[in-house]
Amino acid sequence: MRDSRGEKLFYFLNYVLLSFIAISCIFPLLNVVALSLSGAGAVASGRVTLWPIDFSFSSFKSLFTGTPIMRSFWNSVQITLIGTALSMLVTIMAAYPLSRKQFYSRRFFTMAMVFTMIFNGGLIPTYLVVQNLGLVNSYGALWLPGLVSTYNMLLMRSAFEQLPGEVEEAAKIDGCGETGILMRIVLPLSKPMLATLALFYGVGYWNSFMSVMIYINDTAKYNMTVLVQNMIKSTSMIQDFADPTMLASMTPEGIRSAAVIVMIVPILAVYPLLQKYFVKGVMLGSIKG
Amino acid sequence: MSMLSRLPKLLLISGLVGSMLAGCSNNNPAAGSENATDSGKRASISSTIYDRGAVPNGMGTIEDNMWTKWINENGPANVKFVAIPRWESQSKLNVLLASGSAPDLIFEFGTSIRNQLFDQKQLMPLDDLIEQHSVEYKALMEKYPQLKQAGIKSDGKLYEVGRMNEVYPLVSVFIREDWLQNLGLDVPTTEEEFLAVAKAFTEQDPDGNGVDDTYGVGGFEFGDNSGLFRYIFNANWVNLDENGEIQVGPERLKKEAEFKRALFEAGVVDKDFLSDKDGSKSKQDFLNGKIGIYAFMTNDFLSFASRELDTLMKNVPESRLKVIPLPKTSAGQFNPVWNNPVQMTAVVNARAKEPEAIIKYIDFLVKPEIARTFRYGIEGEHYKLEEDGKPVILDQEKYKNEVSWASDFTMLYSRLEEGKYGYVENQFDEEVPAQKEALRLFRESIDAYMNDLPVGEGLTHSEHMPQLPKELQVKFSNVTAAVHDIYTRAIIGGSNYTVEQAALDAEKQWETGGGPEIISWYEEWWSKEKDNVLIWSDFYEIYQQQQAELKAD
């Protein structure tokens, strides 16, 4: 079937608009890449836009030798991997029972969890709790208070609910217990959903900023977000420079850009790998039968 | 992650909760002041240190490195450091204080943050402690009584300690002297001449490249240049009138807007100045030789030399800059803002256990020969003193790696106590062309702006302004933003919206937006505090004292 003129025009406009949006997302990123690969002089005079000028890796070199970026990179990796694993484990353990119709008063428990989405203790009380648990200055403070995201748990619960009951019945008839059903039937069938949620958790942990800043006192344990934020923001504190040599302790823009690149690359690298699950995750439950 | 992602929002709410908690959990300040440290045991205290993420790889962390070890070996007490992220210092301090785990000695540049701690009764009064235990800081306070004046809070007690900085202009207005010569013009001295020169720079092709690609002045909404017109007209909200009384309101903003409108209509500024959100376009234009008059933040002339000036000299070798005094206007003639010479930087936690040791530690940091260490490093290892006392860095690379990031340990370092090599003027290395040029401009800027003309930044330096109560502060921010928008509209509005109309609208906005309340708050504050507040004329006296000492040295 051929598209009518109107449709062609519509597609054309759509593509123009979408390319425009895509470009406006990509340009700032390209700018940062260009800054990180340019010479210091070109960066300072603001001549760098989308293409590196005086191409050099010196910013990356100074970043890796001159700043604790590698230490914080490994901290981020550690926080993310362990945090995601723990969160997924506990979220599954919460979502599965709540998705079972025979679970006694599951409505009450679900609402009790939803309640925490609306009300919460606030920063200082939460801090006091974390402090009394002895978690301040350890990554436990990052993992434990936000171990289960209610929203993610609800997503997972509805995904589990949508699985056809017949499959489980069949499993039961074949002699599967509850654990067996979860491990052999429910989880394998929910892989797209699990991948999506793992990514949600992973990105969340990777980007965790406020919690690290508040709970972690030892700068050797800082993750990349806090380190990079510190590099970027502290250049804008005018009052600090009443002593005219203070500026020497500032991180130059090229190095800051390089740090941003190092920070976003791992997440960018993970997305394509999980892409296929995303598509499935969206399709999930759309066709019955 | 809903918990974590909601944290920033929680922070707002918890500010209130935090202050409540803090208020009740803190009942007997200075209870431990009897704790004598002379029992022979070395006291242990804790202190904050800003973390800027700038400690090089292999040098440890900002709270545990060669300098913290050095302090613990050479200082009067064992000091445990707690890192405070520079940009998030307020929220970090809030949780530390509310949870009772804040360090004894708190370094904080932010006046409003220190004021908040005072309002929450988190701070320990220091009068008696300094009287009894201090030598160095006490002597400094005697030399500069302003240091004491600035450290006293509304209950009449001393809570803050700080440092004396050199007074010099924070902003300098540069004109392209080579352009003036090309066009046969003189330095503009009045607002009319300023406009005429800017117009000539725009229209008469001052760089002689045959292309109409120049502007008279840099953008005037964002970036370094944005304060220029405010200084020229002293167009501020809180001012000192001729009778020494406080005057609050938008009245002085009108003339600034009229002048900006005239400049805008004459086409001497980039018409798109409003979209240049951080002023970087305008700055680049100047550094690429396309703008004739531009104001830079010159709080740090040395890095101005190595960044902007060096860039300009490379991009446009024939350029020659000159620093010009602000033009005379119908509102008078003013100076651009100066450095704050009396900078409060530290407070003591009310719950500190060993206040005497803290005072000893403050004394330690105040001593020039100690504080110098965090700036130049160890004598003989990082720097040497020449015969006349000039410190010279031995190995720049080593210096950069080991010392350059330690400057936050110098927050109590009054650099001028070093003698003449503490002064900015003697920091330049004349072997480097850009620095030689910067020194020339620095001297011009001192000549142009360090005089007894009033400073065009209202009543006093922002770090000495009082804190409005929260509710009034919100109103004040809203009304200043609204009035700013009104005048911006008038600047670009053409015949549709005149400055006259804008002034009426601004006045109305001020009346309905809480103006009278704000005025009466400031008036009451002024009637109580006017003898204690440091204002620009006090800073000018400090400047004269500093210069007299430089000459004597």
Angle at A241 between CA A236 and CA A246, to 5 degrees: 100
Higher pLDDT, B51 or A276: B51
- d(CA B342, CA B160) in angstroms, rounded, equals 11
Q: Mapped to the 3 state alphabet, what secondary structure does B256-317 carry?
A: HHHHHHHHHHCCCCCCCHHHCCCCHHHHHHHHCCCEEEEEEECCCHHHHHHHHHHHHHHHCC
Q: Is A79 on the interface with B (CB under 8 A)?
A: no
Q: Using the 8-state DSSP alphabet, how is residue A184 labeled?
A: I
Higher pLDDT, B245 or B35: B245
Q: Do B2 and A146 touch (CB under 8 A)?
A: yes
Q: Is A49 on the interface with B (CB under 8 A)?
A: no
- d(CA A49, CA A28) in angstroms, rounded, equals 9
- d(CA B359, CA B350) in angstroms, rounded, equals 13
- Per residue in B359-405, pLDDT (tens digit) is 999 999 999 889 889 988 998 899 998 888 888 889 888 888 888 88
**Site from B1, B310, B407 to mutate, A interface, most A CB atoms within 10 angstroms:** B1
Q: Using the 8-state DSSP alphabet, how is residue A252 labeled?
A: P
- Range with lowest mean pLDDT among A268-277, B180-189, B237-246, B438-447: A268-277
Q: Is A137 on the interface with B (CB under 8 A)?
A: no
Looking at the predicted complex, does its ipTM rise above 0.90?
no
Q: State the angle between helix axes of A253-283 and A5-36 in degrees (0 to 180), rounded to the nearest 10.
A: 140
Q: Do A204 and B427 touch (CB under 8 A)?
A: no
Higher pLDDT, A1 or B41: B41
Q: What confidence category does residue A236 fall into, taking pLDDT thresholds of 50, 70 and 90? A: low
Q: Do A247 and B303 touch (CB under 8 A)?
A: yes
- d(CA A90, CA B176) in angstroms, rounded, equals 67
**In this complex, how many residue pairs, one in chain A and one in chain B, have their CB atoms less than 8 Å apart?**
206
Residue of B nearest to A199 (CA): B1
- Judge whether B175 and B324 are in contact, CB under 8 Å: yes
Among the partner residues B4, B51, B314, nearest to A230 by beta-carbon distance:
B51
Q: How far is A258 from chain B (nearest CA, A)?
A: 14
Q: What confidence category does residue B17 fall into, taking pLDDT thresholds of 50, 70 and 90? A: very low
**Site from A156, A249, A255 to mutate, B interface, most B CB atoms within 10 angstroms:** A249
Phi, psi of B343 (to 5 degrees): -105, 115
Chain B residues lying within 8 Å of A211, measured CB to CB: 4, 7
Residue of B nearest to A116 (CA): B3
Given a cut of 90, whether residue B505 has pLDDT beyond it is: yes
Q: How far is B336 from chain A (nearest CA, A)?
A: 15
Chain A residues lying within 8 Å of B375, measured CB to CB: 245
- Per residue in B98-110, pLDDT (tens digit) is 888 899 999 998 8
Classify each residue of A215-248 as buried b or exposed e, where b means 16 or more C-beta atoms within 10 Å of its C-beta.
Answer: bbbebbbbbbbbbbbbbbbbbebebbbbbbbbbb
Check residue B270 and give its pLDDT. 86
- Judge whether A69 and A224 are in contact, CB under 8 Å: yes
Residue of B nearest to A42 (CA): B311
Q: Do A234 and B87 touch (CB under 8 A)?
A: yes
- Judge whether B291 and B319 are in contact, CB under 8 Å: no
B47: which strand partners? B81, B105
Q: Do A237 and B55 touch (CB under 8 A)?
A: no
Integer CA distances (angstroms), B367 to B140, B178, B374, in order: 10, 46, 12
Q: What confidence category does residue B275 fall into, taking pLDDT thresholds of 50, 70 and 90? A: confident
- d(CA B502, CA B429) in angstroms, rounded, equals 50
Given a cut of 90, whether residue B347 has pLDDT beyond it is: yes
Percent with pLDDT over 90 in chain A? 25
Check residue A251 and give its pLDDT. 61
Check residue A245 and give its pLDDT. 45
Check residue A169 and give its pLDDT. 87
Nearest to residue B77, comparing CAs of B49, B109, B105, B53? B105
- Judge whether A37 and A43 are in contact, CB under 8 Å: no
- Per residue in B219-241, pLDDT (tens digit) is 777 777 778 999 999 999 999 98
Q: Do B165 and A219 touch (CB under 8 A)?
A: no
First to last CA, chain A: 29
Given a cut of 70, whether residue B207 has pLDDT beyond it is: yes
Given a cut of 70, whether residue A64 has pLDDT beyond it is: yes
- d(CA B487, CA B270) in angstroms, rounded, equals 18
What's the whole-number mean pLDDT along residues B36-56? 78
- Judge whether B188 and B197 are in contact, CB under 8 Å: yes
B164: which strand partners? B342
Q: How far is B187 from chain A (nearest CA, A)?
A: 27
